[in-house]
Amino acid sequence: MVTRPFSFPILFLIEIVFLPPYTKANSILMKAYVFPGQGAQFTGMGLDLYENSPLAQELFEDANEILGFLITDIMFEGEAEDLKQTKVTQPAIFLHSVILAKVLGDDFRPEMVAGHSLGELSALVANGALNFEDGLKLVSQRAQAMQKACELQPSTMAAVLGLDDDLVENVCKATEGIVVAANYNCPGQLVISGEVPAVEAACESLKEAGARRALLLPVGGAFHSPLMEPAREELAAAIEATTFNVPNCPIYQNVSTTAVTDPEEIKKNLIAQLTAPVKWTQSVQNMIADGATLFTEVGPGKVLQGLVKKINREAETAGAGIG
């Protein structure tokens, strides 16, 4: 039996006729699908899909060939430490999410999508903006570029609980060195990112300001901060060289937080994402304002379902499943 080890949820973990916004009067069900980011991985992820779906097995084997190594071995039975490597983690989560969406077949009918950090690329394959191979290649290039950026300078991230966003932002601005708000996960939960001494100093200040917790996270670097600029530059060239299609439904991107369908705007936001904060709270709020009534998480874990509920207690959530 595959067990899932406990880990702190590190979340860095068209042309269509638009339906009118949901109201009690028209009672239209609007389905939003959301895709998790780094931190949602676990040993054994995807094995059930591989064993029960010929389509999933074919896509996993294609992924091994595209990546040039047997990622299935690491995902299905590798050591947890191997799975934590950024170059493995990001493709693994992407594969679990995207292949699950494809296996769902006709049951997967999103009217809007969003992804948390890495999950944005999963969402873009799921809504047809990217094909499977191009999406996986971009994820692999993203992971390697971020890993290289992490190695250039010691950096880290920390989770801050129990404070208003503006207070956390002000403490970061007042702290010497590079430290910024990186992930707006839900009200009262914000992740900061930057140089190690600056993040540590900000954590102390935030505790003094009344934070319930200000906890350094076991991550390889300062994701979604200015320290990712080398990775942003490297990935920008790859994104510009990739064909993006008009998606089947809007995506609410981490940078813009609003519905996007224009391929050029999608590319611009995707490039900016590496050094910009993940505005998850704002994205979910905008999806609800635009009519989303059911949020289904596609991929490993249930972290995003929990965050959606904390953003809006009345939102309905579910996990995608097969069988």
Q: What is the CA radius of gyration of the chain?
A: 19
- At 180, is the secondary structure helix, strand, or coil? strand
Write the secondary structure of 77-119 as one string of H (helix), E (strand) and C (coil): HCCHHHHCCHHHHHHHHHHHHHHHHHHHHHHCCCCEEEECCCH
CB count in 10 Å sphere of residue 236 = 17
Which residue of the set 97, 116, 122, 224 is catalytic? 224
Does residue 96 have an active-site annotation?
no
Does residue 117 have an active-site annotation?
yes
- Starting at the edge strand found earlier in the chain, the sheet holding 259-260 runs 259-260, 251-252, 112-115, 31-35, 294-297, 316-319
| Cα–Cα nearest to 237, from 137, 151, 152 | 137
Write the DSSP symbol of residue 322.
-
Which residue of the set 96, 97, 116, 117 is catalytic? 117
Q: How far apart are CA 83 and CA 10, in angstroms?
A: 14
The DSSP bridge partners found for residue 301 are none
Q: How do beta strands 294-297 and 31-35 pair?
A: parallel
Catalytic center residues: 117, 224
